[in-house]
Amino acid sequence: MSLNIKDAVNDTCPWSGKPISADSLTTWRGHVVGFCNPGCRDKFETATRAFDQAIDKAEQP
């Protein structure tokens, strides 16, 4: 799936505060989220994946 910067819910990177870049987009909860560089995007994906796994584990009987 190709992500478009115009669909991003944010204009600035949540990690750095710098403007987002078209090569640093991801989706989260059905929305396009932008970052200033792939490193910030990857850090976000790692963090949210860790939270999702923790929630899944906590919800298991």
- The residues, ordered by sequence, that sit 6+ positions from 25 with a Cβ below 8 Å of its Cβ are 3, 4, 5, 8, 32, 33, 34, 35, 41
pLDDT (tens digit, 0 to 9) for every residue of the chain, 61 residues total?
A: 699 999 999 999 999 999 999 999 999 989 999 999 999 999 999 999 898 889 888 988 7
The whole-angstrom separation of Cα 11 and Cα 18 is 8
pTM, two decimal places: 0.82
